[in-house]
Amino acid sequence: MVQNVHHHIFPNGLTLLAERMAHVRSAALNFLVPAGCVYDPPDQRGMASVLSDLITRGAGERDSRELTLALDNLGLDRDESVGTLHMRFWGATLATNLPAALEIYADILRRPHLPAGELDAVRALALQDIQGLEDEPRQKVLIELRRRHYPAPLGLDHRGTPEGLHKLTPASIRAHHGRHFQPWGSILAVAGNIEWEPLKQQVARLFGDWPAGPEPALKLVKPIGGKAHLHKDTEQTQIAIAYPSVPFGHPDYYAAQGAVNVLSGGMSARLFTEVREKRGLCYAVWASHQTFKDRASVICYAGTTNKRAQETLDVTLAELCRLLEGIEPEEVERVQAGLKSSLIMREESTSARAGALASDWYYLGRVRSLDEIQAAIDGLTPRRIVAHLRKMPPRDFTIVTLGPRALRVREVKTSANGVKAV
Amino acid sequence: MVQNVHHHIFPNGLTLLAERMAHVRSAALNFLVPAGCVYDPPDQRGMASVLSDLITRGAGERDSRELTLALDNLGLDRDESVGTLHMRFWGATLATNLPAALEIYADILRRPHLPAGELDAVRALALQDIQGLEDEPRQKVLIELRRRHYPAPLGLDHRGTPEGLHKLTPASIRAHHGRHFQPWGSILAVAGNIEWEPLKQQVARLFGDWPAGPEPALKLVKPIGGKAHLHKDTEQTQIAIAYPSVPFGHPDYYAAQGAVNVLSGGMSARLFTEVREKRGLCYAVWASHQTFKDRASVICYAGTTNKRAQETLDVTLAELCRLLEGIEPEEVERVQAGLKSSLIMREESTSARAGALASDWYYLGRVRSLDEIQAAIDGLTPRRIVAHLRKMPPRDFTIVTLGPRALRVREVKTSANGVKAV
C-alpha cells in the first residue's frame, strides 16, 4: 500500500498532518492542543475537564445550541477529551463535510464564548463524574495506581478534585484558555478522502494568524510509588500494578512492547493462560504499555473474587518476573502475527490513521511508514526481548488494590540473572 | 460505491454471505449460530455462556493450547459472545489468513472437545462474572430492566444464574451442543478482500455435510413489566426505562429509529440537551432502539446523583412523551445527517460490514443495498415520525431504578392526541 502522507509546519508552530485515503468516502480529524490536565492550576484541578465541556457551548457567531446543531448537521461523530498532556478534539464524518467542520473547530478553539451562565451546570456534571467513580471500582483502582506511580502532576486524573472544581471561576477559565490554547505544540491530523493543497490553504486561513504563546512549563515531583489498599465492601477485589518501561521512540521500545504482548497479546498469552484459563482465577486480566515522551510504564490489571484475590496477585507477579527466565520463539511469532494484523487493520480506518499521524508526530517529530513499523515487528526475537528485560526487569512495582481486605505483597527480587521471591 | 455482495444457501440450511471489498487488505467473519441463551435449559441457565468459553478449549486435532495458539498465530482478533438468540463468533485478520481461520472454526463449531477437566475453571469464571455485576450498577439496572420488560426467556441475561451454572455437567453441555449447533438458521458472513468462488467451495467442503437438526422451539411467558427498585447504597442512582416499539423490517421502522434519534442521536438531541446540558442533571443519558424479529423496544438510561434522581426521572419521562407534541424539520435533518454519515463510515469497515450482512439476512432474509438504506433515511419527515408515534406512543413503561432510595413514578398518560401527567 502506497502511503500518501503530507505535513506542514506553520510559522506560528501549528503542525498540519494529512493522509489521503482515496478509496474511502469519510474523513477523520484529530486535533491535539497542549492543554492537558497536567497544566491545571494546582488549586483548580479539573480546569481542563470543565473547559473541554464549556468550550463547545457557543463559539464565534454561534451560541451553544447553534454550535451543537451545526456540528450535528454535518453528521459529525465527535468527542472532546482531556488527556494528561493534550486536550483532544476528535471528529469523523463524510469527507465532503470536513472543510465545514474545520471552520467550526477554528471558532471552538480560538473564539469560544465560555458562557459564565453555564458554568454551574458544567461543574455539576464534573462533580458527578468524580462521585460516580465510587460506583466504578475498576476505574478507581487504575486512577489511584497512576496517581501513585507517576510524578505529580503527570499521574493525576483529568477529573480533578471537588475542591479544585469549586474554585473555578469564569475569569480563571478564560485566562486558562488564553494561556494554553495556542499553536505551539498543537497538532492537527486529518486522514481520509481529502486533498492536501486545499486543506493546507484552509488551515492557513483559519489558524495561520493564531498567535503563539510561550511553551508551558511543567515541574514534576517525586512519585509516591509503593503499595496501597483502598478499603471498600465490594464483591470483587481489584488489583493494579505498574512498573517502569522504556518510552515510544526508544531503541528498545519494540522489545518492551513485545514483552507486554507475550504477557497479554492474544488469548494464548501468558497472563490470560496462567491466571484465567488454567486457574479460573479472574474474569479480566491484562497488561498494557503506557508511554509519555520521556518515561513509560507497564500497567497490569486483574479483577477477581475476594476469596481468590491473594492467589491472583501472587500468580500475576510471578508471571511478570518469569519473563526474565526466557521467551519461546513461538511466543514471539505469535506476537508478531498479532502486531502485523492489527497494523493492517488500523491502516484501513480513517480515525485510527488520524490518531496515528498525530501520535507519531508528537513522540517522534515524524510519521513512521508502514514499512518501518513492519520491519520493527519483523526484527523482534526472543533474544532481543530478554536482553531488554535484563536491562530493565519488572521491579519497583507500584501496587494498588481495592476491596474488603488488603493483600500481602511478597517481596519479589528480580535481577539480571533471574528472579527470587523473598 | 458499487457493492459486491454474494449469497448462497447450502442444502443443509447454512447461509453464506460475502462482500468483496477490493481496496482493503483485511477480512472479517461473523458466524451466527442459533444457540443463544434463550435456548438454555430452564434449570441450567448459563449453559450458552459456559459453552461459548469451553468450545474453544480444544477442537478437531488440536488441544486447548494448540487451538488458541493456532488462532493467535493467524493474527486473528476474535471474540465469542452469547446473544439472546445467537452465539456469535467474530474474527478479523489479514484477508490472506481468512481461509486458515475458517478451517479452525469448522473444528470449533463441529468438533469441539468440551473437555470435562476444564469445566470447573470455566464455571468459576462464569460465577465471577455474575458476582462482578454487584460492582457494576449500570449493567445491573439494564439487566433487570430487560428481564422485567421482555417475555421470558427473551429478556434473560446470558450470564445465567449461580444455581443453573452449578447444575451444568460435561454430559449436559455436550448434549446442548449437539442439539443447538447445526446449519439450520446458522449464518456465516464474510467481508473484506476475499474471492467469492474459492470461499464458497471452502465453506461447502467444511460445512456442506454438517447435518441439520430440527428448528428449536421457544415458548414465551407473559412479561413482568411495571416498576421496580433495586436497593443499593451507591453514590449514584441508575435509571432504566423501556417501552414497546416496532421491529426492524416493519414499515415504520425508520420512523421509530428517527424518533429515538430525535431523543438521543447526537449532542443536540433532546435528552442530552434537556437533561444534561441545560440542567446538568446527569453524566450519562441515552435512548436506543433494540429489536427482535417480532418485537422491539426503546431503552432509555440515565445515571445521576441520588439527590437529583427524581428530577432526572421526571424530566426524562416528560421528554419521551413530549415527542408526541411534534418534531421540528431541523431535528429530522440533523437525524438524517447523522444516519447517513454513520452509514458511510460503517461501509468502510470489514467488521461492520460482516455484522450488517448477517443482521440483514437474519431479520429480512436479504441484504439491503446502500441505496435502499439511503432512500429510507431520505424519506424521513416530521410527519412520518409523528404519525408513527401517534400509532405507538411511548407508554406501558417498564421502569427499574437502582440506588439508596426508590423514586416516585408519576403516571403519564399518552394518547393519540397528546400527553397528560396525572
Cβ-based contacts of B24 with chain A (< 8 Å): 348
The grid coordinates of residue A321 equal 518476573
Whether A421 shows a pLDDT value over 60: the answer reads no
Of residues A64, A278, A344, nearest to B25 (C-beta): A344
Q: What is the pLDDT of residue B2?
A: 60
Express each pLDDT in B12-70 by its tens digit: 999 999 999 999 999 999 999 999 999 999 999 999 999 999 999 999 999 999 999 99
**Res. B266 pLDDT band, cuts 50 70 90:** confident
Residue type, B271: L
∠ CA B147-B150-B152, nearest 5°, is: 70
The per-residue pLDDT of chain A, averaged, comes to 94
Place of cell 481520509: A192
Measured CA to CA, the distance from residue B377 to residue B165 in angstroms comes to 45
State the best of A71, A237, A268, A401 to mutate against chain B, taking most chain B CBs within 10 Å: A268
3-state secondary structure of A63: coil
The grid coordinates of residue B186 equal 446458522
Place of cell 472543510: A99
Measured CA to CA, the distance from residue B410 to residue B227 in angstroms comes to 11
Q: Say whether A342 and B77 touch across the interface (CB within 8 A).
A: yes
Q: Are B407 and B252 in contact (CB under 8 A)?
A: no
Taken in order A243, A138, B125, A339, the sign of the CA dihedral is negative
Of residues B1, B74, B125, nearest to A337 (C-beta): B74
Q: Are A46 and A217 in contact (CB under 8 A)?
A: no
CA neighbours closer than 13 Å in the CB half-sphere of residue A370: 16
CA distance B415 to chain A (A): 30
Express each pLDDT in B308-320 by its tens digit: 999 999 999 999 9
Segments of B136-270 assigned E as strands: 187-192, 227-231, 236-245
Measured CA to CA, the distance from residue B39 to residue B47 in angstroms comes to 9
The grid coordinates of residue B215 equal 428448528
User: How many C-beta neighbours within 10 Å does residue A329 have?
Assistant: 10
Which residue from A minimizes the CA distance to B304? A128
Cβ pairs A/B, distance under 8 A: 193
Whether B192 shows a pLDDT value over 70: the answer reads yes
In 3D space, the residue among A149, A304, A72, A64 whose CA is nearest the CA of residue B262 turns out to be: A72
In 3D space, the residue among A269, A91, A181 whose CA is nearest the CA of residue B73 turns out to be: A269
Where does B298-349 have alpha helices with state H?
A: 309-322, 329-347
DSSP tag of A112: B
Residue A42 buriedness (CB in 10 A; 0-12 / 13-18 / 19+) = exposed
Measured CA to CA, the distance from residue B391 to residue B393 in angstroms comes to 6
Q: What is the pLDDT of residue B415?
A: 53
Q: Say whether A276 and B125 touch across the interface (CB within 8 A).
A: yes
Express each pLDDT in B76-86 by its tens digit: 999 999 999 99
Express each pLDDT in A50-92 by its tens digit: 999 999 999 999 999 999 999 999 999 999 999 999 999 999 9
Q: What is the pLDDT of residue B215?
A: 86
CA distance A150 to chain B (A): 27
Of residues B93, B97, B135, nearest to A235 (C-beta): B135
In 3D space, the residue among A61, A73, A76, A67 whose CA is nearest the CA of residue A26 turns out to be: A76
Residue type, B218: L
* 3-class SS letters over B195-224: CHHHHHHHHHHHHCCCCCCCCCCCCCCCCC
List A82's β-bridge partners, or say none. Answer: A87
Of residues A279, A304, A345, nearest to B121 (C-beta): A279
Whether B75 shows a pLDDT value over 90: the answer reads yes
For range A245-257, the mean pLDDT = 96
State the best of A72, A125, A136, A339 to mutate against chain B, taking most chain B CBs within 10 Å: A72
CA distance A28 to chain B (A): 10
